[in-house]
Structure 1
Amino acid sequence: MGEHVVKLPDVGEGIAEAELVEWHVKVGDPVLEDTVLAAVMTDKATVEIPSPVAGTVAWLAAEIGEKVAVGAPLVRLRVPGSDGSASQPPQMGGTAPMEQPQTGPEPQPQPERQRMAAAPQAGAEPSAAAKPARRPALAAMPAARAPAGYGAPRPAGEKPLASPAVRRRAREAGIDLRQVPGTGPAGRITHEDLDAFLNRTPGTPARSGPAPDTSVEEIKVIGLRRRIAERMELAHARIVPITYVEEIDVTALEELRAKLNADAGSTGRPRLTLLPFLMRAMVAAIREQPIVNAHYDDEAGLIRRFGGVHVGIATQTDAGLTVPVVRHVEARDIWDCAAELARLAEAARRGTATREELSGSTITITSLGALGGIATTPVINHPEVAIVGVNRMAVRPMWNGSEFVPRKVMNLSSSFDHRVVDGWNAAVFVQRIRTLLETPALIFMEG
């Protein structure tokens, strides 16, 4: 058998390392050419790493959440060599890991995760040398009897799967987890399984109410969640924010939007949300206050003011918050903005957005839709200097000079980097947006 080393490829211009966010294989797994081995993340873009050859996984480079340098070994595969010891590629299925090849550098001791991955499948009879010694504490612990009809104990030597919190509860209650059937993945014993076992054990008083939940779940901060945490920490540490909240009467805008959407089917144009109107209003307001469409490089002491308006749209996905970018909004009309916004939001939710589509924004919009609240304090997307937050729309009574009338109203909550944007400039910027949204015909005239 020979060995093939799969190295982390160049995953983007200027990228020196990437974070490992998912293993698709484990030690001992057979793989075919183009089988996905792992997923890595860089700048919020996830990249899958395929296998260039068929073989069997012999070694994995890192734990989930660790960073791997570009060009560094990621996976080692055992592949059929020229010595005639193997002539067929490995078959997909439950194949036990093969012995380490005798050629090449001396193999490093396997970490615990890899030893577990290479262990025999549950139910297989281990050899006498491979049988783990039982812990004295477990051997001496009085085993609680399983209630009649509740399930047979596990075979001797088979270790039940359970979290540390479940094991601690079992020890405190004097329960042998081998007697407890598990309903979780791969037979894992949950707190609910332990509660059911306790409630069915003779002599154990039945609980009269909900059982206390003493579980503590530890979630490793990796991948996109770690990227978000790092960005928020950077923004909090470096930016001095000021938040400006203004009320906007969007009654006329909503009437216009409804009329345009009613005609969308016959014209073939995309349906419009409020955001394309806001994007175009921001372009007009930026012409008067260009300082808000900028990056502040505080290390170099430079403000980079951009002519093009590249609007980041904060988008919630199953994996976390991403910010796809609608580029050159100043050159797009309302419908073009809507189409591009829909395309990018769908790509972000599916996880197919490219690194270029998730970077390069000069100003950001954040909106929670119906959950937007009355007011928010949006966090600026460093190194930008402004972010516009859309709050919930509601019908409120408004005084028109002679009587109260129902109007559709919402708040804009906008944050600015006060090191770059003065309060007066921030207020003028938001007031210009307000004027355009309250008189939407002006947006088309600004065109």
Structure 2
Amino acid sequence: MGTHVIKMPDIGEGIAEVELSQWHVKVGDLVVEDQVLADVMTDKAMVDIPSPVHGKVIALGGQPGEVMAVGSVLISIEVEGAGNLKESDKPAPVAAKETPVAPKVEAVVESKPAAPRTAPVCQGPVVAREADERPLASPAVRKHALDLGIQLRLVRGSGPAGRVLHEDLEAYLAQGQSNASAPVAAAYAQRHDEEQIQVIGMRRKIAQRMQDATQRAAHFSYVEEIDVTAIEELRAHLNEKHGASRGKLTLLPFLVRALVVALRDFPQMNARYDDEAQVITRLGAVHVGVATQSDVGLMVPVVRHAEARSLWDSAAEISRLATAARNGKASRDELSGSTITLTSLGALGGIVSTPVLNLPEVAIVGVNKIVERPMVVKGQVVIRKMMNLSSSFDHRVVDGMDAALFIQAIRGLLEQPATLFVE
């Protein structure tokens, strides 16, 4: 038997160090070739580190949240044969330490003797984990388990490296719920539990970028109401006529098209500001960042050269990028290089929002939800589909008047959809 040492790889772009975001394995685990061992975080994206060999994990080279230099020992695996261990690669003592677990206070429930709390009891296979062992699971799964009154350490995970998924929670309940009153009892029981979550990986990068953006840029927001009745009628017509052959259109590709057309008259919005060099770079290419929510946090994949795309081309690219971002498969190139950002919460878009700039960009256009409201049109009260655009700008670069005129230009294009396609 020998030892195969895997070092932190050179991810490119001159990156000298990365943050170890999460381990997918622990000491003693058997791994196979191409199995994901860990996630590391660069300034731009989350990167999976796969195993090049079959073997058994014998040492981990860092803790989640630790910043590691490229070339440092990431993990040591026992393999058949001689392995590749060199004297300089022998793991430091820290590798043998157990991964620290954030302290957690379990719920303490005081109940009357006649009405004890009833919890789900699993009658199917369960996992025998130590009481202080923290199973792998996303924050959404942990919250779901907490809401259901399930102890994650008792649930068998079907995901990679034993990760607990939403369907595992449902399977646990289906197998082990002893009576229908358990969820009701849990819903009305007192809870005193606490959980500390370390801010690492993507969440730390998001926090740093948001803090940096609000500290460095002089934000101001502008909100404009738009009648989207006509554009929604056009969208419905195009989907009915071409949806089966070309794919369904959402409102987003129309908004991308409106940005492209409006930017012809407002090139100062399609720009990046280097505040250290005091240089504004206006770009001819329109690379639209589309803010997308994923399990690990907010990501902004980029629709490149939107100025050269049709509605369906934009729609297909938005869909592809959103899927890649949500699945954690978006590449660094797909998450960088935007010149202006479009952000939308869809049906949850609310009435008004104040989006934070995606530095070094100088403009971000926020889309609120569509609502039907009575409006006065040519002296008559009619029902119209209305939507707000809540947009933010960097006041160091963009004047308030120009921002208002830019958003009003987008409004005019959307309210008269034919103008989107008139050259």
* TM-score relative to the length of structure 2: 0.77
Q: Out of 252, 262, 272, which is 2:249 matched to?
A: 272
Q: Does 1:305 align with 2:282?
A: yes
Partner of 1:124: none
After TM superposition, give the deviation of residue 113 of structure 1 in Å. 4.1
After TM superposition, give the deviation of residue 37 of structure 1 in Å. 2.1
Amino acid at match of 1:240: A
Contact 2:243–2:249 (CA<8 Å) still a contact in 1?
Answer: no
Which stretch has the larger CA shift, 324-333 or 11-20?
Answer: 11-20
Partner of 1:136: none
Q: Out of 402, 419, 439, which is 2:416 matched to?
A: 439
Report SS of the residue matched to 1:442.
helix
Q: Can you list the C-alpha shifts for 1:75-133, whole angstroms capped at 9, x where unaligned?
A: 12334456xxxxxx9xxxxxxxxxxx99778864346743899xxxxxxxxxxxxxxxx
Q: Can you list the C-alpha shifts for 1:334-368, whole angstroms capped at 9, x where unaligned?
A: 12111111111111111111111111100000111
Structure 2 vs 1, CA of residues 384 and 78 (structure 1 numbering), >3 Å: closer, same or farther? same
Partner of 1:214: 192
Q: Out of 388, 396, 404, which is 2:381 matched to?
A: 404
Q: Does 1:256 align with 2:223?
A: no
After TM superposition, give the deviation of residue 43 of structure 1 in Å. 3.4
Q: Does 1:184 align with 2:154?
A: no
- 1:323-338 to 2 correspondence within 5 Å? 323-338=300-315
Q: State the distance in 1 between where 2:100 and 2:232 align.
A: 59
Q: Out of 416, 420, 426, which is 2:403 matched to?
A: 426
After TM superposition, give the deviation of residue 47 of structure 1 in Å. 2.0
Structure 2 vs 1, CA of residues 300 and 392 (structure 1 numbering), >3 Å: closer, same or farther? same
After TM superposition, give the deviation of residue 4 of structure 1 in Å. 2.7
- 1:126-141 to 2 correspondence within 5 Å? none
Partner of 2:178: none
After TM superposition, give the deviation of residue 247 of structure 1 in Å. 0.6
Q: Can you list the C-alpha shifts for 1:257-293, whole angstroms capped at 9, x where unaligned?
A: 1111101245x21211111111111111111110110
Structure 2: where are the runs of 5+ without partners? 102-115, 122-127, 135-148, 156-184
**Rg: which structure is higher?**
1
Q: State the distance in 2 between where 1:332 and 1:159 align.
A: 52
After TM superposition, give the deviation of residue 395 of structure 1 in Å. 1.1
Q: State the distance in 2 between where 1:104 and 1:236 align.
A: 44
Q: Out of 317, 325, 341, which is 1:364 matched to?
A: 341
After TM superposition, give the deviation of residue 36 of structure 1 in Å. 2.7
Contact 1:45–1:358 (CA<8 Å) still a contact in 2?
Answer: yes
Q: Does 1:344 align with 2:321?
A: yes
After TM superposition, give the deviation of residue 12 of structure 1 in Å. 2.9
Partner of 2:297: 320
After TM superposition, give the deviation of residue 385 of structure 1 in Å. 0.3
Q: Does 1:31 align with 2:31?
A: yes
Q: Out of 199, 203, 216, which is 1:225 matched to?
A: 203
Partner of 2:50: 50
Report SS of the residue matched to 1:398.
strand
Q: Can you list the C-alpha shifts for 1:8-51, whole angstroms capped at 9, x where unaligned?
A: 11223222222212212222333343333222122342222222
Structure 1: where are the runs of 5+ without partners? 83-88, 90-100, 118-146, 152-157, 165-181, 189-206
Which stretch has the larger CA shift, 61-70 or 385-394?
Answer: 61-70
Contact 1:43–1:355 (CA<8 Å) still a contact in 2?
Answer: no
Q: State the distance in 2 between where 1:282 and 1:402 align.
A: 31
Partner of 1:161: 131
Contact 2:220–2:393 (CA<8 Å) still a contact in 1?
Answer: yes
Amino acid at match of 2:12: G
Q: State the distance in 2 between where 1:112 and 1:103 align.
A: 17
Report SS of the residue matched to 2:237.
helix
Structure 2 vs 1, CA of residues 246 and 326 (structure 1 numbering), >3 Å: closer, same or farther? same
Partner of 1:289: 266
Q: State the distance in 1 between where 2:257 and 2:352 align.
A: 22
Contact 2:369–2:388 (CA<8 Å) still a contact in 1?
Answer: yes
Q: How many residues align?
A: 355
Q: State the distance in 1 between where 2:150 and 2:222 align.
A: 52
After TM superposition, give the deviation of residue 251 of structure 1 in Å. 0.9
Report SS of the residue matched to 1:426.
helix
Q: State the distance in 2 between where 1:393 and 1:325 align.
A: 24
Structure 2 vs 1, CA of residues 358 and 210 (structure 1 numbering), >3 Å: closer, same or farther? same
Contact 2:22–2:39 (CA<8 Å) still a contact in 1?
Answer: yes
Q: State the distance in 1 between where 2:191 and 2:269 align.
A: 49
Q: Out of 361, 364, 367, which is 1:387 matched to?
A: 364
Partner of 1:234: 212
Contact 2:59–2:91 (CA<8 Å) still a contact in 1?
Answer: no
Amino acid at match of 2:39: A
Partner of 1:63: 63
* TM-score relative to the length of structure 1: 0.73
Q: State the distance in 2 between where 1:160 and 1:361 align.
A: 46
Report SS of the residue matched to 1:393.
strand
Partner of 1:139: none
Report SS of the residue matched to 1:357.
helix
Q: State the distance in 2 between where 1:347 and 1:105 align.
A: 35
Partner of 2:98: 114
After TM superposition, give the deviation of residue 406 of structure 1 in Å. 1.0
Contact 1:40–1:46 (CA<8 Å) still a contact in 2?
Answer: yes
Structure 2 vs 1, CA of residues 404 and 111 (structure 1 numbering), >3 Å: closer, same or farther? same
Amino acid at match of 1:33: E
Report SS of the residue matched to 1:299.
coil
Contact 1:388–1:412 (CA<8 Å) still a contact in 2?
Answer: yes
Report SS of the residue matched to 1:341.
helix
Structure 2 vs 1, CA of residues 360 and 116 (structure 1 numbering), >3 Å: closer, same or farther? closer
Structure 2 vs 1, CA of residues 242 and 385 (structure 1 numbering), >3 Å: closer, same or farther? same
Which stretch has the larger CA shift, 305-314 or 393-402?
Answer: 393-402
Q: State the distance in 1 between where 2:73 and 2:392 align.
A: 44
Contact 2:31–2:56 (CA<8 Å) still a contact in 1?
Answer: yes
Amino acid at match of 1:213: R
